Amino acid sequence: GDSVTQTEGLVTLTEGLPVMLNCTYQTIYSNPFLFWYVQHLNESPRLLLKSFTDNKRTEHQGFHATLHKSSSSFHLQKSSAQLSDSALYYCALSDRYGSSGNKLIFGIGTLLSVKP
């Protein structure tokens, strides 16, 4: 079935260092949508980035990701981590315009902790 695999567990970084959170996926969808959601402590998940265009970089709030269908990847990157980036990051997949509709399939989540 369809699935999303992320860097598991906790990623700890020092403020100012680059961020890279891995996300790969498996799907039968011919045109998958890929998403990154961010969830801060005691808050609800919030959409950070999305893409369905192959090899096109998408950016928001300093984060960027590029969907590579050849490698089924959608890694999240940021050039310089900030303390406020500490949160749980989910990669997710959907078949938005296909028969499976707008259901989101989430990865396990990666907890990013940024230290001073």
Partner 1 sequence: DPKIIQKPKYLVAVTGSEKILICEQYLGHNAMYWYRQSAKKPLEFMFSYSYQKLMDNQTASSRFQPQSSKKNHLDLQITALKPDDSATYFCASSQDTNSDYTFGSGTRLLVI
Sites of contact with partner 1 (CB under 8 A): 4, 43-47, 50, 90, 92, 96-97, 100-109
Which token pair is 70?
């050849």
Return the DSSP state at 68.
Answer: B
Collapsing DSSP to helix, strand or coil, 65 comes out as strand
Strands (E), the chain: 3-6, 9-14, 19-21, 23-26, 33-39, 46-51, 57-60, 63-66, 76-78, 87-95, 101-106, 110-115
Comparison of 2 and 15: residue with beta carbon closer to partner 1: 2
Structure-block tokens of residue 116: 């001073």
- Cα angle for residues 84, 21, 58 (degrees, 5° grid): 85
For residue 25, the minimal CB distance to partner 1 (Å) is 13
